[in-house]
Chain A
Amino acid sequence: MLTENDRAQLWMQMKAHSDRLFEEIQVLKPDGEVTGPVDDISPDVMREMYRWMVLVRAFDRKCVILQRQGRIGTYAPFEGQEAAQVGSALALAPEDWMFPTYRDHAAAMVHGQPLATVVLYWMGRMEGCVCPPGKHILPPCVPIATHLLHAAGAAWAAKWRGEPMVAIAYFGDGATSEGDFHEALNFAGVFQLPVIFLCQNNGYAISVPFSRQSASRTIAQRAVAYDIPGVRVDGNDVFAVYRAVRQARERAAAGLGPTLIEAVTFRYGAHTTADDPTRYRDQQRLSDEWRTQRDPVTRLRLYLERHDLWDARQEEAWQAEVASRVDAAVQEAMAAGPADPLAMFDHVYADEPWHLAEQRRELATARGGAHA
């Protein structure tokens, strides 16, 4: 029997172990050096990581501009979080199920969502919710943490049918306060589901800092309560994220169940274009610090250049390619023509009930019969 004193000591030891166990894993340091061998990541994959990160950053900046110009609606920027999203998505197999939030379109694009589709989404167009045939990319989840259970369920179905695919759910630090986060981890643990829970802890749920979100020091340590693996990585380190997700994927595919990954990162900008971060944090200083000291794109470029995997000529060519791809995507989305209001009646059900058929006619008539 443990005494009260024994228990107090064990508790202190457990906290110390927890601090070590959930220490932030870093492979690629901000100065472009690595903390150990990275032979398991091929130069081709490294270049692909870089190309994607540059592309999605340019896309993100373009969208912020489009919003300012009134050409798209409220937009949720992800700049600063490219490594977490690109690194994780590149570690997936093409058929894996992806459940993103409204800030995870970088991951979605890497996983196969066309750029133009993402623009359409932010233009308030329903076409923006649709992924290419054969892909398993769900529309951005707008409520918080609810989609973690969908990922668990999709993984469950794959396991039930013996299919090799896994599911990944993206979410933020705020989501870990919702009940659905805990229910998802619990189900995934009980039924040993092939699912990856990827938390991008960017430190703020809109204005609320993580210290106000939870008394636990890390998100990764929540895994302990469900007896599933928890990993904390430098979320701006694309190698660390890629490795953690690849390992989690291997475990899941091998029938070893779920993993919770916490990728520590920072959004450089606002929560959305409707938000003003200067109200709740020292925005200029924090943003500058992360940009200059921990930027995910810069450190990978330093590494690639140092190892002769990338040079100025390639950079120039890629920047030009990126600009034209982003422009082409925006043009394609803008050329979609006016949204068809009658499409709101499509797909409410597989078979249209009488009252919807009637209301569809009513709107068509009100609009001058153009679509009747």
Chain B
Amino acid sequence: MSRELTMLQAIQEALDLKLADDERVVLLGEDIGVNGGVFRATDGLLAKYGEKRVIDTPLAESGIIGTAIGMALNGMVPVAEIQFLAFIFPGLEQLLSHAARMRHRTRGQFGVPMVIRTPYGAGIRGPELHSESVEAFFAHTPGLKVVVPSSPYDAKGLLISAIEDPDPVVFLEPTRIYRAFREEVPGGLYRVPLGQAKVVREGEDLSIFAWGSMLRTALRAAEQIEQERGWRCEVIDLRTLYPLDRETIITSVQKTGRALVVHEAHKTAGLGAEIISLINDEALLYLRAPVKRIAGFDVPVPMFSVEDDYLPTEARIRQGIEETILF
């Protein structure tokens, strides 16, 4: 059975299916039960699975992530929701100092199979500190996996894979495209493997790497530039930010000889730098131009009245493509 779902519906369905499929799976977080989550990602799940499986917690992110670690140590598979990415900071010590390191420091004796889901990113006229994009913090932490879906189909398949993964996964959900579009999503359990990027648009002239809500912005820029100038850009959705899919990135750059990274996170020390470094290591001699980053500016994500100027736009991406191809 296949229907058209939004990303939010696809995520809800993945949670529903895993709750049904594996009794070790529990959801916990603020307002996820009776309220169904502030974005409704857990809508209806409390009624269906009860309070032991879908848990409204006290308002404490360190508490949520810390107890999830304990549950995971002792045989459960917690899927924690942090209401917005910028609210995760009280829980960072638990995540970085404990979840990420447990397998390593117990020499494989204890693992922490858990998922931290959290809405992230700008573009929805959110209040202050509701629009951050700090994926690089997590990708800088050995022991964590970092996943960002950009479509309903991938969101469901990636979340199922994340829940089934033996290690802690930070699962970042781009709020801007939660309800922005629908696509066909199969009804049952299926997996999109972690660690694999996807070529969403083929091209020969330049490789664009993007994720989250920026993927669609990059795709539109690629379509416009083909109409205007005839250049065919390959667009790659990285899907997993850590560990990166080196092979797909390098294969594409070897083919096109040019690359551009687009992310809404701040430019400095963002994932773009890491991707460029990878290209430098593996495909330098294929390059015909320096690799550019089109990124959020290095300012605190501004309040919503000017967030559209903070975020990379199609115009900025097109300009980056032109400068790279005409280099």
Residues of B within 8 A of A179 (CB): 60, 62, 90
Which of A124, A207, A280 touches B304 (beta carbons < 8 Å)?
A124
B305:A339 contact, CB within 8 angstroms: yes
Which of B58, B309, B316 touches A344 (beta carbons < 8 Å)?
B309
What's the Cα separation between A178 and B125 when bound, in Å? 27
Residues of A within 8 A of B127 (CB): 73-74, 102, 124, 142, 272
A243 within 8 A of B: no
What mask results when residues 1 to 42 of chain B are scored 1 for a CB within 8 Å of chain A, else 0?
A: 000000000000000000000000000001101111010000
B76 within 8 A of A: no
B302 within 8 A of A: yes
Residues of A within 8 A of B298 (CB): 348, 355-356, 359
A366 within 8 A of B: yes
Q: Which of A51-59, A130-138, A208-216 contacts B (4 or more CB under 8 A)?
A: A208-216
A274:B60 contact, CB within 8 angstroms: no
B38:A344 contact, CB within 8 angstroms: no
A41 within 8 A of B: no
Least distance between B48 CB and chain A CB atoms (Å): 16
Give the top 8 A-B pairs by smallest Cβ distance, nearest first.
A124-B304, A341-B309, A207-B35, A174-B59, A177-B58, A339-B305, A124-B305, A344-B302
17 further A-B contacts with Cβ under 8 Å, apart from A174-B59, A343-B306, are A73-B126, A124-B305, A128-B303, A142-B127, A142-B128, A174-B58, A178-B59, A178-B90, A179-B60, A206-B31, A212-B58, A345-B299, A355-B298, A359-B297, A363-B297, A366-B313, A366-B315
Q: List 29 A-B contacts (CB under 8 A).
A: A124-B125, A125-B303, A126-B302, A126-B305, A142-B86, A142-B130, A174-B58, A174-B59, A178-B90, A179-B90, A180-B90, A205-B30, A206-B35, A206-B38, A207-B34, A208-B56, A279-B36, A341-B306, A341-B310, A343-B306, A344-B302, A344-B306, A344-B309, A345-B299, A348-B299, A356-B297, A359-B297, A363-B297, A366-B319
What's the Cα separation between A274 and B305 when bound, in Å? 18
Q: How many interface residues does chain A have, given as a range?
A: 35 or more
A344:B129 contact, CB within 8 angstroms: no
A215 and chain B: residue at smallest CB distance:
B58
- State which residues 283-306 of B face A: CB under 8 Å: 297-300, 302-306
Residues of A within 8 A of B319 (CB): 366
A279:B126 contact, CB within 8 angstroms: no
What's the Cα separation between A26 and B62 when bound, in Å? 36
B268 within 8 A of A: yes
B110 within 8 A of A: no
A63 within 8 A of B: no
- Chain B positions near chain A (C-beta within 8 angstroms): 30-31, 33-36, 38, 56-63, 86-87, 89-90, 125-130, 267-268, 297-300, 302-307, 309-310, 313, 315-316, 319
Least distance between B274 CB and chain A CB atoms (Å): 18
B125:A73 contact, CB within 8 angstroms: yes
B59:A175 contact, CB within 8 angstroms: yes
A177:B63 contact, CB within 8 angstroms: yes
Residues of B within 8 A of A213 (CB): 58-59
Least distance between A368 CB and chain B CB atoms (Å): 11
What's the Cα separation between A299 and B171 when bound, in Å? 50
B126 and chain A: residue at smallest CB distance:
A74
What's the Cα separation between A207 and B310 when bound, in Å? 32
What's the Cα separation between A366 and B308 when bound, in Å? 13
A154 within 8 A of B: no
Which of A180, A279, A339 touches B306 (beta carbons < 8 Å)?
A339
Residues of B within 8 A of A274 (CB): 38
- State which residues 30-79 of A face B: CB under 8 Å: 73-74
What's the Cα separation between A146 and B86 when bound, in Å? 13
Least distance between B230 CB and chain A CB atoms (Å): 24
Least distance between A108 CB and chain B CB atoms (Å): 15
Residues of A within 8 A of B300 (CB): 348
Residues of B within 8 A of A146 (CB): 90
B30:A208 contact, CB within 8 angstroms: yes
Least distance between A347 CB and chain B CB atoms (Å): 9
B34:A279 contact, CB within 8 angstroms: yes
